[in-house]
Amino acid sequence: MITRKHGQQQAQCAWCAKPIIAGGRGRPRKYCSHSCRQRAYEQRVNVTGTQIPSDAVIITQERASIFSDQLFQLRCAAEDIHTAAAERAPYAEIAEMCAELVVLAENIERLRIRDTDV
């Protein structure tokens, strides 16, 4: 996956969605680490012979609950910005709220996380 950041393209890990540091030569990297590459391989092997697509995102119930909570936080932050704008809050206040919204969204983008990131 490739995202745009400040007009530049930035590659993201195909497993955890963390930014990938651009390498020198050869093919562009798909994974940020050997661990992510291994997790992706394990998932591909585990779904082989099933009707589950190889690119399916399989997460635990606990992670699904965390994801749901993060989406709720994101919606609340967006509603706060909407309210602040409607009440003509100072620009600095709205800018700070928008920065928090971006951080929340970036955390949600990393659907697959390592146990150490929780």
- Nearest Cα neighbor of 105 from 70, 64, 76 is 70
Per-residue pLDDT, 117:
46
Give buried/exposed letters for 41-76 (b at 16+ CB in 10 A, else e).
eebeeeeeeeeeeeeeeeeeeebeebeeebeeeeee
Domain spans in the chain, listed from the N-terminal domain onward: 1-57, 59-118
Unique residue bearing structure tokens 């009440």: 87
Q: What is the mean pLDDT of the chain?
A: 83
Is the pLDDT score of 3 beyond 80?
Answer: no
Cβ atoms within 10 Å, residue 38: 12
Is 4's pLDDT higher than 60? no
**pTM reported for the whole predicted model:** 0.59
Q: Name the pLDDT band for 1 (thresholds 50, 70, 90).
A: very low
Q: How many angstroms from the chain centroid is the CA of residue 1?
A: 11
pLDDT tens for each residue of 76-103: 999 999 999 999 999 999 999 999 999 9
